[in-house]
């Protein structure tokens, strides 16, 4: 009867609940199911439960048929996933209007899903483009420093990989597991190349001096942290609220702070120092110790580890120093074979 009333719609017919599920699973593009609750072999409630539990057909919109006065049946059907009910005896105009309404809702939902999918693709493309632009800008800025000091390039690669290794270890340890998300680790590793960018403001006679700096020269060298942070702040202006920019400024400005408060430029101590600065401090110092500089020879790995142990709780955050020492063999290996993240 219902089939003949809806002859202008594309229809599939089943004679009981078991056959209905077989038809639906073979034809997963069905949008609306008109379902009688009283059927042989499998009643309408069981069909609704099966539809709800089957990911392949759970998006079908079931409309249940009930008799007048069966309020409990209507409620139970709706609780099991029916989107509407039609009471018997059937009214053709009411039936067609209900079908038209749900067909329009389904079409609108599909259009929204397609729109959101297209929007997500566009956002992903724009995000990728933005990240590529950002990284290209960072490489361009760092290359200006490398022109003056070729060691900066090697130092950047090594510290970037050590930062990645240290974060990957710490992210499984409290309290860092809640902080070191994949997004934040990516930000940290991307900002590492900028940590010494302020050295572009330091004169060559100090930056490239082959020996110990005088107290006055060291005061000028110390300014590279504020030079770099202020340059980024000034360039970005109101964009300082962006997470990546905040992380970059923090890392640049605080990577020479010390856990006991004797560092520079602001004499921060303990947890006053942002995590980015505390992490950068140890990888920066270790890399400087085991590699030759214009002002000093390289020292052996084991000797560098002894210095890190002695500076635990002084220069370095104790828990970060402990983590570094746990993966010291990996850090040593990265000195020989650094590969950017």
Task: Write out the two tokens for 148.
Answer: 């003056």
So what CATH class is 149-336?
mainly alpha
Q: How confident is the model at residue 121 (pLDDT cuts 50, 70, 90)?
A: confident
Rounded-to-integer distance, Cα 13 and Cα 139, Å: 65
Range 2-113 has CATH code 3.40.50.2300: yes
259 with 278: CB under 8 angstroms? yes
Predicted TM-score (pTM) of the model is 0.61
Q: Summarize pLDDT for 127-153 with one digit per residue, the tens.
A: 666 666 666 666 666 666 665 555 555
CB 63 within 8 A of CB 99: yes
The more confident residue out of 227 and 313 is 313
Q: Is the dihedral of CA 256, 258, 263, 268 positive or negative?
A: positive
Distance of CA 81 to the CA centre of its chain: 34
Is-contact 189 163, C-beta < 8 A? yes
Q: Check residue 149 and give its pLDDT.
A: 58
**Tens digit of each residue's pLDDT (9 = 90 or more) over 175-186:** 999 999 998 999
- Residue 236 pLDDT: 52
Position 3 scores a pLDDT of 66
- Residue among 32, 199, 180, 41 nearest 100 (CA): 32
Contact between 268 and 244 (Cβ < 8 Å): no
Find which of 90-104, 129-143, 186-200, 311-325 is predicted with most confidence, using mean pLDDT.
Answer: 311-325
Mean pLDDT of the chain: 85
pLDDT at 341: 47
**Which range has highest mean pLDDT (153-167, 202-216, 234-248, 255-269)?**
255-269
What HEC string does the chain produce? CHHHHCCCCCCCCCCCHHHHHHHHHHCCCCCEEEEECCCCCCCHHHHHHHHHHCCCCCCCEEEEEEECCCHHHHHHHHHCCCCEEEEECCCHHHHHHHHHHHHHHHHHHHHHHHHHHHHHHHHHHHHHHHHHHHHHHHHHHHHHHHHHCCHHHHHHHHHHHHHHHHHHHHCCCCCHHHCCCHHHHHHHHHHHHHCCHHHHHCCHHHHCCCCCCCHHHHHHHHCHHHHHHHHHHHHHHHHHHCHHHHHHHHHHHHCCCCCCCCCCCCCCCHHHCCHHHHHHHHHHHHHHHHCCECCECCCCHHHHHHHHHHCECCCECHHHHHHHHHCHHHHHHHHHCCCCC
Residue 12's pLDDT band (cuts 50, 70, 90)? confident
pLDDT of residue 305: 97
Per-residue pLDDT band at 323 (split at 50, 70, 90): very high
239 pLDDT more than 70 = no
In the chain, CATH 3.40.50.2300 sits at: 2-113
**CB contact at 8 A, 208 and 149:** yes
C-beta of residue 223 within 8 angstroms of C-beta of residue 196: no
Under the banding of pLDDT at 50, 70 and 90, the label for residue 7 is low
Tokens 């005896």 correspond to: 89
Which regions of the chain carry the CATH code 1.10.3210.10?
149-336
Q: What is the pLDDT of residue 151?
A: 56
**Confidence class for position 20, pLDDT limits 50, 70, 90:** confident
Band (286; pLDDT cuts 50, 70, 90): very high
Give buried/exposed letters for 39-68 (b at 16+ CB in 10 A, else e). Answer: beebebbbbbebbeeeeebeebbbbbbbee
For residue range 219-229, list pLDDT tens digits in order. 999 999 998 88
pLDDT at position 119: 79
Residue 235 has a pLDDT of: 54
């Amino acid at each position: 009867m219902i089939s003949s009333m809806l002859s202008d719609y594309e229809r599939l017919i089943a004679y009981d609940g078991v056959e209905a599920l077989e038809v639906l699973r073979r034809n997963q593009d069905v949008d609306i199911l008109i379902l009688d609750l009283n059927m042989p072999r499998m009643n309408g409630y069981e069909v609704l439960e099966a539809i709800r539990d089957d990911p392949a057909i759970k998006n079908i919109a079931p409309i249940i048929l009930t008799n007048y006065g069966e309020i409990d049946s209507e409620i139970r059907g709706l609780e099991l996933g029916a989107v509407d009910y039609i009471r018997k005896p059937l009214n053709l105009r009411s039936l067609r209007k209900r079908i038209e309404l749900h067909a329009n809702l389904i079409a609108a939902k599909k259009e929204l899903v397609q729109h959101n999918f297209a929007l997500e693709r566009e956002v992903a493309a724009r995000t990728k483009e933005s990240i590529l632009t950002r990284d290209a800008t960072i490489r361009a800025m760092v290359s200006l420093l490398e022109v003056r000091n070729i060691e900066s390039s090697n130092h950047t690669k090594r510290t970037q990989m050590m930062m990645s290794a240290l974060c990957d270890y710490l992210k499984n340890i409290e309290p860092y597991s809640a902080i070191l998300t994949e997004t934040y680790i990516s930000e940290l590793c991307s900002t590492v190349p900028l940590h010494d960018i302020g050295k572009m403001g330091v004169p060559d006679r100090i930056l490239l001096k082959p020996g110990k700096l005088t107290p006055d020269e060291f005061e000028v060298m110390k300014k590279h942290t504020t030079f770099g942070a202020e340059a980024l702040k000034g360039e970005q202006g109101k964009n300082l609220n962006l997470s990546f920019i905040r992380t970059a400024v923090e890392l640049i400005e605080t990577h020479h702070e010390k856990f006991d408060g004797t560092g520079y430029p602001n004499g921060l101590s303990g947890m006053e120092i942002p995590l980015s600065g505390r992490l950068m401090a140890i990888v920066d110092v270790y890399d400087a110790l085991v590699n030759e500089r214009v002002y000093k020879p390289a020292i052996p790995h084991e000797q560098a580890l002894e210095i890190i142990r002695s500076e635990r709780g002084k220069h370095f955050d104790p828990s970060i120093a402990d983590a570094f020492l746990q993966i010291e063999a990996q850090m040593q290996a990265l000195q020989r074979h650094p590969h950017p993240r």
